[in-house]
Amino acid sequence: MQRRTYLTATAGVAAASAGCLTSALGGNDGGETVLDPPADQQYDSGKLPYPAYGQVLPEFEVPDPLAGDVVVSDDLGGTLVVTAFFASCPVECVRLIGQLAGVQQGTVERGIDDEVTFLAITFDPERDDAETLREYGERMNIDMEAGNWRFLRPESAERAETVVDEKLGVTFDRIGAGESERLPGYDFRHLSLTFLRNPHGIVERAYRTDRPDHQRVLSDVETVVEATT
* Cβ-based neighbour number of residue 74 at 10 Å: 14
- The residue among 79, 60, 84 whose CA lies nearest residue 201 is 79
* Residue 203 · residue 57 · CB < 8 Å: yes
Was 20 annotated as part of a binding site? Answer: no
Was 200 annotated as part of a binding site? Answer: no
Give, in order, the Cα–Cα distances in Å from 99 to each of 59, 96, 130: 25, 5, 22
Instruction: Mark the binding-site residues for Cu cation, compressed into ranges.
Output: 89, 93, 190
Instruction: Mark the binding-site residues, compressed into ranges.
Output: 89, 93, 190
